[in-house]
C-alpha cells in the first residue's frame, strides 16, 4: 500500500501539486519580502549583511541591463522547456521535485516583477563579498533549486538507472535462457 501511494505521489497530479505547493510558497515569501523592503535600506550587520533596495532592469550582475523584454521571453521559454522536460521525465524523486519547484518558484518570482514593474526588486546585500550583486529570495531559491537538481542528476539519478539496467539485463538473460532451453538459440 505504501509503495502505491509513494509511486503515485511522484507522478501525475501528486507531483504537480507538490511542485505547485513549494513554488507558491517561494512566490509568497519572495513577494512579501520585496514589498516589505522596497524603497528602504536597513543596516543589519555593518560591512557584512544589509538590506538595500535596488531596482534591477537586467539579470545577475546586470547582464542584459535595460533589456527586460529579452529576459521575460527567455524566462518564458525556459519555464516552458522545463515543464516539458518534467512531463517526459519519469524518474522523479522527492529530491528532484524539490529542486524543480525551487527553480520554478524562483524564476516565477523574478518574472512577475519584470512583467508588472519592468524591473526586479533586489534587497539582500552581502557586503563582505565585495562587489557581489544585490539579490532577493527568488534568486536564492533559483540557485538552491539548481544545486539540488545537480545533486540529483550527479548522485541519485545514476543509482536509479543502475537498478533499472540490472532489471533489464536480468530480463534479457532470462529470455535467452528460455530460448536456449527450447533449443531456439
- Catalytic amino acids? 122, 139
State whether residue 97 is helix, strand or coil.
helix
* Cα 16 to the center of its chain, rounded Å: 13
Residues in Cβ contact with 31 at an 8 Å cutoff, skipping those fewer than 6 apart: 109, 112
Beta carbons of 124 and 134 less than 8 angstroms apart: yes
What does the chain come to in residues?
A: 185
Give the whole-angstrom CA distance, residue 39 versus residue 157. 44
Half-sphere CA count of 129, side-chain side, radius 13 A: 10
Give the whole-angstrom CA distance, residue 185 versus residue 173. 12
Q: Which three cell numbers stand for residue 164?
A: 533499472
User: In which region does residue 52 sit, left (phi positive, over 0), alpha (psi from -120 to 50) or beta (all else)?
Assistant: beta
Amino acid at each position: 500500500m505504501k509503495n502505491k501511494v509513494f509511486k503515485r505521489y511522484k507522478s501525475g497530479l501528486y507531483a504537480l501539486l507538490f511542485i505547485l505547493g513549494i513554488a507558491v510558497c517561494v512566490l509568497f515569501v519572495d513577494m512579501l519580502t520585496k514589498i516589505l523592503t522596497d524603497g528602504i535600506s536597513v543596516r543589519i550587520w555593518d560591512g557584512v549583511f544589509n538590506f538595500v533596495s535596488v531596482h534591477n532592469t537586467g539579470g545577475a550582475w546586470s547582464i542584459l541591463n535595460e533589456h527586460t523584454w529579452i529576459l521575460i521571453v527567455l524566462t518564458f521559454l525556459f519555464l516552458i522547456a522545463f515543464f516539458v522536460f518534467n512531463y517526459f521525465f519519469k524518474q522523479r524523486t522527492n529530491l528532484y521535485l524539490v529542486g524543480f519547484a525551487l527553480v520554478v518558484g524562483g524564476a516565477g518570482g523574478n518574472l512577475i516583477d519584470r512583467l508588472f514593474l519592468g524591473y526586479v526588486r533586489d534587497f539582500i546585500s552581502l557586503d563582505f563579498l565585495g562587489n557581489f550583486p544585490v539579490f532577493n529570495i527568488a534568486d536564492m531559491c533559483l540557485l538552491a533549486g539548481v544545486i539540488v537538481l545537480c545533486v540529483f542528476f550527479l548522485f541519485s539519478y545514476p543509482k536509479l538507472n543502475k537498478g533499472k539496467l540490472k532489471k533489464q539485463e536480468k530480463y534479457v538473460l532470462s529470455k535467452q535462457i528460455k530460448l536456449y532451453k527450447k533449443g531456439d538459440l
